[in-house]
Structure 1
Amino acid sequence: MIELIDGLPDGVVGLIAVGQVESADYEAVAAPAVKKALEHHQRIRVLHVLDDRFGGYTAGGALQDAILGLAHPRSFDRIAVVSDEDSIRRLVTLAGWSIPGEVKLFPNEELEQATAWAVEDLETP
């Protein structure tokens, strides 16, 4: 499942993966949150947390994660990914170059720093 992270400034979408992440989680939570943020901002920031509560992606969940990025290729200013999971860190490292915005990896213990980076110097519309 994907849950929204509360308390972030407008223009920053916070997502936390809990348990198994499926296609429906992106359709019900992540995609609408991104769409809503893009109604008010040309470019947004994302804080994506895949910590110890993350149980992995189903095939559909992994596909929807990729589709979400491809559907809005120039809409992300910064993406902070928080995870200690080796496979997630490798994937972000390999695919991060293809995302027009900045992508930065943080270990689980640096969630606070990841959040600060995601909101740093945020321009308001």
Structure 2
Amino acid sequence: MIDIMPESSNNVLGVRFTRRLSPSDYHTVLAPRVESLLTRFATLKVLILIDESFAGWTLSAAWANTVFDVKHRRDFDKIAMVGAPAWEQWCVHTPAALLMRGELRTYGRGQLDEAWAWIHG
């Protein structure tokens, strides 16, 4: 499940990943919000919080995530990934870094305030 965090404002979008993500999370929550924000702002800053309950993606959600990332690879100035497991951090720093235009950083779950400060900076 993808939830929009209440700290989101202007061109800063905070999202929380919980349980297992499905394609509908991308099609009905994340994509509409990002596309709406992009009508007002040239680029966005995104914080992704991986909740303790996060159980990964369905196969079709992983594909939806890939399509989303490719479509929006030039739309993000900054992306902060908070609380990601080691394999997800590798994905952020290696393959995703080759696709994305903006700066990507990972933070431990206990560094949420630091991640917000970086995103707003």
TM range (shorter): over 0.9
Deviations 1:39-97 (A, max 9, x none): 10011111111131211111111111121121122111000011241221111121232
TM-score (norm 2): 0.92
Worse-superposed segment, 66-75 or 101-110: 66-75
RMSD: 1.2
CA distance in 2, matches of 1:82, 1:20: 17
Percentage of identical aligned residues: 27
Runs of 4+, deviation exceeding 2 Å: none
Which consecutive unaligned segments of at least 5 residues does structure 1 have?
121-125
Tell me the number of residue pairs that the alignment of Structure 1 and Structure 2 aligns.
Answer: 120
**8 A Cα contact 1:83 1:89, kept in partner:** no
Q: Deviations over 1:89-125 (max 9, x none)?
A: 11112123221100000111101111111111xxxxx
Distance 2:87 2:22 in 1: 17
Q: What TM-score do the two structures reach when normalised by structure 1? A: 0.89
For 2:45, the aligned partner's letter is R
Name structure 2 gaps, 5 residues minimum: none
> What pairs with 1:55-74 in structure 2 (closer than 5 Å)?
55-74=55-74
* Structure 1 residue 18, shift from structure 2 partner: 0.8
